Structure formats: C-alpha cells, structure tokens
Amino acid sequence: MHIRNTAHTIFCICLAAAIIAGAQATAQNLPFAENAEKIGTTRQADLFFPESLAAGGALTRVAFMIKKNGQYHVVVDGKTGTGYDGVAKGTPIFNASGTRYAYVAYKDGQARVVSDGNAQPWFDAVDRLVFSPDGKRLAYRAQKGGRQMLVEDGRTIKTFDGIKGRPVFSPDSKNLAFLGVKDKKVSMVLDGSVILSGYRNAKEITFSPDSKHLAVAVLGEKKWHAAKDGQISEKGYRNIQRLTFSPDSQRFIYAAQRGAQLFFVENGNETKGYRTVGRPLFSPDSKRLAFPAMLGKKQWTVVLEGKKGPVFKKLASLKFSPDSQRFVFSAVTENGRGAIVINNREVRTYDSTGQAVFSPDSKHLAYRVRKGKKWHVVKDKKAGLAFDLVRMPVFSPDSRNMAYVAIKSKSMHMVVNHQAEPAYSKVGLPWFSPDSKHLVYKAQKGEKWLMVADGTEGQKRFDGFIAGLPIAWDANICQALAVRSAKQGLDFYRYEVRF
C-alpha cells in the first residue's frame, strides 16, 4: 500500500496500518510523570509505506521506508538513508535489543544489505536475513553468478550450488549452522566447516537450549536419520520431523514415521504409533513429556508420560505449570462443547473455552469460557463477571493480580481481579510492571488515545499508538510508540510513563 501523506490520506494510513498520531494535553498533577520524545518523521511530499514500519530497542528506535524523488529510502531514527531503486519487503528489521538494524536494497538489478548505515557488497540477490540472539551477528543468503553463499556481515562464509532454508544461530550466538547443496547433495556447515555431507536431503537444524548440542534430520539413500552432534542414528525411518531438546538440554526427541504410523523416538526407544502426532512438549524441569496424538478421524488424545488421556474432536494449547507439577490444555468434545482438561484426567466442560493460563507461581489457573451467550474468566474454578466477550487473562509477575480485556455492548473495559474499570471505546492489552506494582494499558476515549496507569488516565492525548507493539518496561518506566499527524506528514514519538 503506497499512500501520499496529504491531510486526507493520513487518516487512511492510520486505518490501513493501525497507526495513529498524537497530540499533547495540558499537564495536571498525576501520581506519575509523562513524557513524549520525537524519534522519527515522514514528510508530506514523500510516499510513506506503513507496512515497512519497524521498532526496536525497547521502543527507543523506529525505521520505515519512503519514496522521495523517485528513489526509495529507509529512515532510521529520523535520518534518511541513501536512495535506491527499491527496498525488500519485510525490511528494515532490528535485532532484539535495537542496537542494530538491516535492510535489503536494490539498484540496477543487484541487491545489497545495508546494516547500521553501512552498505555491504552487491550480489545478484539477497534474502533470509537473521540476527543472532545477542544481536551482534547478521547472516543472510546471497546469490552471484548462479551460485549461492552464506554471508555474515558482508563476509562470505561458504559457497554452494544452493543454500537450503535459513541460517540458524545457537542460543548463545557463538555458533552458526546452515545447509548447503552441491551436486544435488546436501551438507551441513557449522561455523564455516562442513560437518555432515553427501546426503540426499536434510532439514530442521536444531540447537539445544544450552548451545552444546546440535541436531539435524538427514536423508540417506532410502531413509531419514537423526544426526546429533555428528552421530547418525543407526535406525532409519520413512520420515523424521519435530526435532526437540528438553529445557535442560539433556533429552532429545523426534517424531518418526514407519508405514502409516507416527511415533516419537528418544535414545532409540519408540513410543506407541498413532495416525499422526503433534509437537512434543517438555515440562520446565524436563522430567515430563506430553504430545497430541490422533487415534482416528477427528479423534485426538494427549499422551502424558506415556499414558493416553480422554478423546476429543480437537486439542489446543498444551501447557505445563511453571513448577512442572500441573498440566492443562483446551479441547472440543465430540458434541462440540469446549473443555479444559487438567492433568489429563479432570475435564471441565462449557459451551466454549479459550486457552488456560497458569500464574507464575503455579498456584492459580485461569481461562475464559462461554456460558450461553456470555463470556467469563474463570480463576481457580470461580467465574467472574459476564461480558459479551473477554480476552485471555494475564497474571502479574508476583501472581497476586490478574487482568483481562472485556467487551460489553460497544464498550471495552479492563477488568482487574474480576472488578471492571471504566468503559472506553477501545482498550489494549494489560501490561504489569516487572515488580508487579503497576498496571498500564492503552485506551481510546472518543477519538483520542491515552495511557491508563493504575486506574488513572494520563493527561496526554493521542490519535493513537502503533498497533502490534508491546508496552516496554524498564524498572518503573513504561514506554509505547505513538504517532502525531502534522502539516508536514507524520511524527513518531516515544511516549513514557514514569512512576
């Protein structure tokens, strides 16, 4: 969507990209301080691409694409970059901390990565940009002269006939693995060295959480095998998928297929076979294992520690409590009713249900349910107020409080501990501070947006906040991104509440 920033089309941009602009109100005495700092601008004469908008660094940075004088530019932190013939869809991107950004630019039929303002070498094509978890490394696939190579920050690591899939960094960011194809054979490369080669195919590069182990599925002459730390499993299967390490990195499991049966394999031991199996889930302490299994057409069960539970038409949202002691999932019964299933035994049925949520201390369980035409949030078996619709509940980090968004008629409320706060036209998700002392959320009042903190409205009014971005916390400071419509175009602001 390419929209010119005239006074008329600014409103259209806000609808299309769910971004809204802001204007300040007169400050009054509040139990918190508010501040708004401009961090980016578009100009009326430029074409602004709202779908290119990206934010990073706990909402301290913003980037987007514009078209100016026939050239495409990326604007980062208010600074307009070099003009190009085009910029790749899905870019710019930031790393998780916001310390780095990157995008793909095109000129004269060639492509290059621009990262942190620095232009990297030209290639025939570039894609699959990936930052390492710590944000310090950037890898991508590039093509030149019919060959493909894996490139890290402008330096070619290895060249093949083709690069298969995305590069994968280890959780500690120290290792980089990818799959290369040469003469129709697939190899796995780790930190620039080929460690497995000569296979017909390979997939699912998987590092363990502690980064000490690396697994991949490889296809030999006839069968698939699991390769872990360079060791190929002796037994092969028709297919292998869902390679998974436990949270403590000590257990490794994968789904395998023999004939029409699928099952999981751990240390060479196979579970019972089923028509199909879902993604496995380890408990946080890594001692317990659960997975969905299909018994027959529209007949699903959950296998928990090797034992099958009740049969349902559909399953969703398998979850262990943080202390690993309890297990819950939502389901649909054969007659179409919703169900919450606890420990794979206790079944609570309602007209409809949403996914269940454990409190951080594991002592509380909450979920949303529909009884007749009304929705409630149930916490520890007690149903709260009735509404036309409710969103998923959220617990505070200390587990003492719970909040959720509720809709009644044409109004929305934030509900805290089953008590509804004042109605607004729209209400955003609840965000608790890390110390659990504060709760904030975005709300629309009339045509303007504001922040509500601990039940008190902020005095600054905005035409809205940038949708899809969370509220970020840094100690007792919360931040959100807002946009102000101005004569010259759009101004982006970092809005802060300080307690």
- Give the Cα separation of 222 and 337 in Å (integer): 45
Question: Residue 17: what pLDDT?
Answer: 35
Question: Residue 58: what pLDDT?
Answer: 67
Question: Residue 121: what pLDDT?
Answer: 97
pLDDT in tens, 6-45: 332 332 333 333 443 333 333 457 899 999 988 878 877 7
Question: Residue 269: what pLDDT?
Answer: 95
Q: Is the pLDDT of residue 3 over 70?
A: no
Question: Residue 59: what pLDDT?
Answer: 65
Q: Any idea which of 22-36, 45-59, 449-463 has the lowest mean pLDDT?
A: 22-36
Arithmetic mean of pLDDT, 229-258: 97
- Tell me the Cα Rg of the chain: 26
Question: Residue 14: what pLDDT?
Answer: 36
Arithmetic mean of pLDDT, 222-249: 96
What mean pLDDT, rounded, does the chain reach? 91
Closest among 458, 289, 24 to 442, alpha carbons compared? 458
- Give the Cα separation of 33 and 432 in Å (integer): 17
Whole-prediction pTM value?
A: 0.89
Closest among 292, 273, 270, 272 to 281, alpha carbons compared? 292
Q: Give Cα separations from 387 to 216, 373, 420, 444, 454 (angstroms).
A: 48, 9, 10, 19, 22
Q: Is the pLDDT of residue 449 over 90?
A: yes
Question: Residue 28: what pLDDT?
Answer: 56
Q: Is the pLDDT of residue 5 over 50?
A: no
pLDDT in tens, 469-498: 889 898 889 999 888 787 777 888 889 999
Q: Do the Cβ atoms of 182 and 160 come closer than 8 Å?
A: yes
- Give the Cα separation of 291 and 309 in Å (integer): 11
Q: Any idea which of 391-405, 446-460, 480-494 has the lowest mean pLDDT?
A: 480-494
- Give the Cα separation of 18 and 408 in Å (integer): 22
Arithmetic mean of pLDDT, 291-295: 97
- Give the Cα separation of 248 and 1 in Å (integer): 45
Q: Is the pLDDT of residue 348 over 80?
A: yes
